[in-house]
Amino acid sequence: MKTLSFAAFALGTFLLGFFLLFGKGAAVSGSWKYVLRTSDDSFYWASAQASAEIPSSAGNPYYYEERGKKHTIPYPTVSFFGALSAWLGFPVLAFFPLWHVGMPFLVWLTLFLCLHRIWKYPEGPSAALALFFLLSTLYLRDVSHYALLRFSRPGDSLWLLFIWVSGTLNWTASWRHTVWLCLLGAASFWMNPFLAAMGVAVTAIETARSLPSRHWPSLRQHLFSLGAVFAAAVLYFLFIKWNSPGGASSVHVLETDYTLGGPKAEPSSLVLFLLAAALIACRRWFFRDAWTALDRLLLALTGLIAVCGNAGLLVPGNWQLVYHRYNYFAELAYHRYAFMTFEIAVLAGWFHQTLPQFRERPWFQKIEK
């Protein structure tokens, strides 16, 4: 009963937020078209509409001359809304309210249930904090608020990542668990390879951890999960190849980074990773504790953020790739907003686990403030 009450409150919050953010503009203009916030929103909703046409023109919906051109990269959610629109006979933007209320509710529900059912946190705080973690992204600078407001990524795949990572770090010896992890890994990669990198990093760390002890049940489970992701990746890149002009990839080598003026170092993400590593090392040294699941998750997350922020420096110039006018490695830094909710939740969980240990020490009580 409590769960239903929490769900009703969260749904009401997102519904109220939707009308406050979009309702007045739509009422004044008479159309959802005039409340689209970014060029990305405009393009992907237009692509959904174009994918409902025969032939599909989702790849470039703005030019009649390019009718029949499909997306080179798969966008399952965009295609789904286009197909649903064609099947029901509704205009695509009729689903705009459903998306902007239903998507954040699904992400909240998944995060809440992962915290309560898998990580075993109390029900009330799990529900409240899951809502706080999501809504807090709306008040962050730059593009971080896209996590809740952009169609269609990352909302359509973030909920899969919550379940996948939580299930990987809270291991149980069953074939059903293994099958679910394989399905979650493959679906996550197909929906959003960038977000799936987080799941791959966590699974790789858990695999390496199982090797020295020769714990074959957990090792087998993690290897199967990685194998499912690899199979999804092969199919993903075959899809790109088949849908590229002339059957060849439209990705080519970048000679000069003309989008950002050349790769630049990003010290802040490196400092974050080193600080996280130092804090974890201090906790283990002071208390002689083993690695916890949140230790490993925090290291994987901050390490991945640092790699994405400095990928342009890590990859040789003649290996850097562009698609249309975008440098893939520069785009990695930009799209880290997709991890923001995950990052806030992991940091909160780690401090919740760790600070009570430090507070038992007299020297920490003196410097706590």
State mean pLDDT over 118-126: 94
Least confident stretch, 11-20, 53-62, 140-149, 190-199: 53-62
Residue that wins the pLDDT comparison between 281 and 327: 281
What is the rounded distance in angstroms from the CA atom of residue 56 to the CA atom of residue 70? 6
- Assign residue 284 a region: left if phi > 0, alpha if psi is -120 to 50, beta otherwise? alpha
- Write down the mean pLDDT value for the chain: 85
Residue 261: is its pLDDT beyond 80? Answer: no
**Confidence at residue 256, expressed as pLDDT on a 0 to 100 scale:** 46
**Confidence at residue 319, expressed as pLDDT on a 0 to 100 scale:** 58
Q: How many Cβ atoms sit within 10 Å of the Cβ of residue 191? A: 23
Task: Report whether 22 contacts 34 (CB < 8 A).
Answer: no
Residue 257: is its pLDDT beyond 50? Answer: no
What is the rounded distance in angstroms from the CA atom of residue 235 to the CA atom of residue 254? 25
Residue that wins the pLDDT comparison between 204 and 290: 204
What is the rounded distance in angstroms from the CA atom of residue 252 to the CA atom of residue 320? 8
Residue 322 is inside which H or E element, if any?
Answer: strand 321-323
Task: Report whether 178 contacts 170 (CB < 8 A).
Answer: no
Residue that wins the pLDDT comparison between 253 and 320: 320
